[in-house]
């Protein structure tokens, strides 16, 4: 069982920090799970233009393969102006729908405006639905104020929320993939 955490932004560090924190918690809750982080900052993805996957550059092909090989996802994004970054949207366009189909997905986002959580419900989840992902109903949304000056997630209420989120996600993954493998 492999969970791929995706830090889906090219700006800032809070998204990656949030995704890493959740993945570390998930590894503690579900130690038999293989965890990997995919940070879009570390790859030079080409813009999707509809050509076959094998005609994109090596980085783009590597990222698509990582997604195809994953069993589940934790997708992290920053919310900018009420939407997701173009790098994440491009990723969704590059990867065949079949790579996401019937794979459990959880979301984590960060933003500066408390109302930016609405972008998960109104923008991210519809994309996930179109891509046929199985989405965890809850998600983590962190404000800038949940981090300290060194961008560490420190707000006690947010840390507890993450713990509960991870506990539920780990439970769902264990139940779903046990049933899926056993059927």
Q: Residues 170, 40, 15, 107: is their CA dihedral positive or negative?
A: negative
Domain architecture of the chain: domains with CATH = 2-182 (3.40.50.360)
Q: State the chain's mean pLDDT as an integer.
A: 94
72-96 pLDDT per residue, tens: 999 999 999 889 999 999 999 999 9
What integer pLDDT is reported at residue 113 of this predicted model?
Answer: 92
- Kindly state the percentage of the chain with pLDDT values over 90: 91
pLDDT at 182 > cutoff 70: no
For 5-16, write each residue's pLDDT tens digit.
999 999 999 999
pLDDT score for 122: 93
Average pLDDT value for residue range 29-44: 95
Q: What average pLDDT score do residues 33-40 get?
A: 96
Write down the pLDDT at residue 179.
Answer: 58
pLDDT in the model for residue 64: 98
Average pLDDT over residues 135-160: 95
Condensed to tens digits (0 to 9), the pLDDT of residues 101-146 reads: 999 999 999 999 999 999 999 999 999 999 999 999 999 999 999 9
Q: How many CA atoms lie within 13 A of 44 on its CB side?
A: 3
Say yes or no to pLDDT of 183 above 50.
Answer: no
* pLDDT given at position 180: 58
The region that residue 50 occupies, defined by phi over 0 for left and psi between -120 and 50 for alpha, beta otherwise, is: left
- CA dist 99 and 150 (Å) reads 36
């Amino acid at each position: 069982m492999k969970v791929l955490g995706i830090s889906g932004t090219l700006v800032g560090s809070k998204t990656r920090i949030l995704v890493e924190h959740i993945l570390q918690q998930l590894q503690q809750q579900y130690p038999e799970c293989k965890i990997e982080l995919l940070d879009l900052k570390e790859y030079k993805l080409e813009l999707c233009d509809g050509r076959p996957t094998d005609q994109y550059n090596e980085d783009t092909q590597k990222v698509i393969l990582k997604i195809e090989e994953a069993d589940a996802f934790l997708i992290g994004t920053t919310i900018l102006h009420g939407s997701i970054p173009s790098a994440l949207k491009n990723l969704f366009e590059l990867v065949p729908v079949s790579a996401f189909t019937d794979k459990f997905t959880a979301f984590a986002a960060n933003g500066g405006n408390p109302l930016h959580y609405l972008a998960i419900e109104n923008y991210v989840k519809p994309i996930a639905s179109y891509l046929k992902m199985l989405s965890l109903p809850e998600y983590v949304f962190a404000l800038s104020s949940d981090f300290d000056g060194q961008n560490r997630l420190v707000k006690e209420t947010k840390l507890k929320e993450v713990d509960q989120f991870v506990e539920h996600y780990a439970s769902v993954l264990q139940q779903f993939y046990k049933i899926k493998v056993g059927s």
